[in-house]
Amino acid sequence: GGTARGGEDVSQPQYLWVHVLPVNDPPTFGQPGGVLVLERGGTHVVEQFVTSISPGSGNEGGQTLTFTVVLVAGYAEMFVLGENETEPMVMVSPDGTLRF
């Protein structure tokens, strides 16, 4: 490049194609509010606890979404199903239904 030693700094237009690959767009969802229940109120099912569930943009449609529930330390025992159970039983299904 440049004009030193008789060079030229102008060339014919050069064309190239840029192919942009899709990226992993994050899923989106809404959670309209909390749930108020009485202590020792038994098993609860709350439909549409999570709403507007989308795996992301159009190219993400084949993905299956799952929800992970994390219980705050000190409150997990509130969600154990029975006297002989030791693991908390709280889940949100892929359709947004909360069960506990």
Q: Report the distance separating Cα 60 and Cα 92, nearest Å.
A: 21
Q: What is the pLDDT of residues 43-70, one digit of tens each?
A: 889 999 999 999 888 778 788 889 988 8
Question: How sure is the predictor about 80, in pLDDT bands with cuts at 50, 70 and 90?
Answer: low
Whole-angstrom CA distances from 15 to 9, 18, 19, 31 are: 17, 10, 13, 48
- Please give the pLDDT value at position 88: 62
What pTM value is reported for the model?
0.64
Q: What is the pLDDT of residue 93?
A: 92
